[in-house]
Amino acid sequence: MEKYLILMHPYHNQVYYNTSKKLALLEFEAAAYRMSRTCENIALENIHGIDYVTFNVDSLPSQDLKLISRLSFVYALFKQEEYGGKTCLVPMTKDYGQYLEDDIVNILKYSGKTNEYFTKLMINLAVFASDFYGQDRINLLDPVCGKGTSLFQGLIFGYNVSGVEIDKKLVDQGLAFLIKYLENKRFKHKVSKSKMSSEGTKICDITCINLAKTKEEYKNNNMLEVNMVRGDTVNTDKYFKKNYFHVIVADLPYGIQHGSNTGTGSFTRNPELLLQKALPAWTSVLKKGGSLVLSWNTFLLKRQNLHQLLEQAGLAVLEKETYNQFEHRVDQAIMRDIIVARKN
């Protein structure tokens, strides 16, 4: 069998501190279920003071190389070979067919922003757990999207993306950034705005952006779609059609940042209260075979309680060991975990 080594991104350890290695292994194990060849001996190996994620496999076809290239922690990939009695690491070209450049998730900085590598991890877990891995045009929803980090990462992957956010300032700033980015990168795009009412009362503002890499793709209607909804996430099933999204990814309120209107005219930083009100709407717009991935502060909501809320909403929580070990400390006030569920 051939041996491969993955060098982790140099910023990865800074973001996740001592848990980065564990998270990297777990993400690779989740990805390995989608590879066309069986990986063996998945491990963390230190070579001359440098940590690598290593694995053995019979061969690495192009589709598996593409999958590995999209993982959040992957900085460089090497194949181990022997030359003249010496062990050498031969670099391999990463390629996952990204639609936009990675810089779109790095430029915009603000308080409360979910780390871009963690966002990428969550999206990968959602796609791997769904029935739709390998499909070209995934419809992704972030129902508590802030300024849109998850939407920008979805665009990098070539997905149609939608976000819901109650805070007008965050929506306006996220949209302004995206439109300016597309203008600077010379992407052909069109912006349209609309409003939605229910029982005579406006419930949201919707901004739709259609974008394409080239004039030819734009002319042929081969475009990606971005929908940013300024409204209460509990009304998500009013904003979008039932069974529309392949994956839903949400970084829930930590008790520090973020918020949702709960129907009382106030914001909540309580993830349990938010989920009680919003999960039925989120589940309604998720396709059968689709997946939902949530991250949250376990100091505010115990995993078993979140598990129960998801099951009550008609979702099946994935119980594989791979998906039950993501808990890690972010700071003194936040112990973050991830849960993955499917709509079967």
Contact 57, 1 (CB under 8 A): yes
Percent of the chain predicted with pLDDT > 90: 83
**Distance, C-alpha 219 to centroid of its chain:** 30
Model confidence at 136, in pLDDT bands (50, 70, 90)? Answer: confident
pLDDT given at position 302: 96
**Separation in Å, CA 278 to CA 252, 253, 273, 305:** 12, 13, 9, 15
Beta strands in 119-159 (DSSP E): 139-142
CATH number of 102-343: 3.40.50.150
pLDDT given at position 128: 97
Give buried/exposed letters for 165-192 (b at 16+ CB in 10 A, else e): bbbeebbbbbbebbbebbeeeebbbeee
pTM, entire model: 0.94
Query: pLDDT, tens digit, for every residue of 287-327?
Result: 999 999 999 999 999 999 999 999 999 999 999 989 999 99
Contact 139, 244 (CB under 8 A): yes
Q: Which amino acid is at 126?
A: A
Query: pLDDT, tens digit, for every residue of 231-242?
Result: 999 999 999 999
Question: What are the beta bridge partners of residue 160?
Answer: 139
Model confidence at 17, in pLDDT bands (50, 70, 90)? Answer: low
Flag whether pLDDT at 143 surpasses 60: yes
* Euclidean distance between CA atoms 34 and 99, whole angstroms: 21
First and final C-alpha spacing in the chain: 36
Contact 13, 41 (CB under 8 A): no
Flag whether pLDDT at 13 surpasses 80: no
Question: What are the beta bridge partners of residue 340?
Answer: 293
* Euclidean distance between CA atoms 176 and 179, whole angstroms: 5
| Domain residue ranges of the chain, discontinuous segments joined by + | 2-92, 102-343
**Whole-angstrom Cα Rg for the chain:** 20
